[in-house]
Amino acid sequence: MDTEQRHYLAPAAWVNGSWAQDVLLTAGADGLWTGVAPNASDERQRGAQRLAGPVLPGLVDAHSHAFQRAIAGLTERSDAGEDDFWSWRDRMYSAANRITPEQLEAIAAFLYSELLHAGYTHICEFHYLHNDLDGRPYAQPLEMSLALVRAAQRAGIGMTLLPTLYMRSGFAAKSLREDQRRFASTPESVLRMAEAVAGQDGHVASGVALHSLRAVDPVALREVAAAAGPQMPVHIHIAEQLREVEDCIADHGQRPVEWLLNKVALDARWNLVHATHCSEAELDGVRNQRASIVLCPSTEANLGDGIFDLPAWMGQSGSWSVGSDSHVTRSWQEELRLLEYSQRLGLRQRNVAARSALCQSSAAALFQGALEGGSAAAGRPLGGLAVGQRADFMVVDTASNALAGIPPGHLLDAIVFSSPAPGFSQVFVAGQAVPAGEPALRAGFVRAMNELWS
Q: Which residues are catalytic?
A: 274, 325
Half-sphere exposure of 454 (CA within 13 A, CB side): 6
Peptide bond into 163 cis (omega under 30): no
317-354 burial, b at 16+ Cβ within 10 Å, e below that, comes to ebbbbbbbbbbbbbbbbbbbbbbbebbeeeeeeebbbb
- Alpha-carbon radius of gyration of the chain: 21
Q: Which helix (H) or strand (E) holds 226?
A: helix 218-227
Query: Residue 19 in 3-state DSSP?
Result: strand
Beta strands in 152-217 (DSSP E): 158-165, 204-206, 208-210
Q: What DSSP letter does each residue of 130-157 carry, written as one string?
A: -S-TTSPPPSSTTHHHHHHHHHHHHHT-
Question: In Å, how far are 76, 359, 440 from 83, measured between CA atoms?
Answer: 10, 39, 36
User: Alpha helix (H) ranges present in 297-402?
Assistant: 297-302, 310-315, 332-347, 352-356, 362-378
Q: Which helix (H) or strand (E) holds 418?
A: none
* 209 beta partners: 164, 235
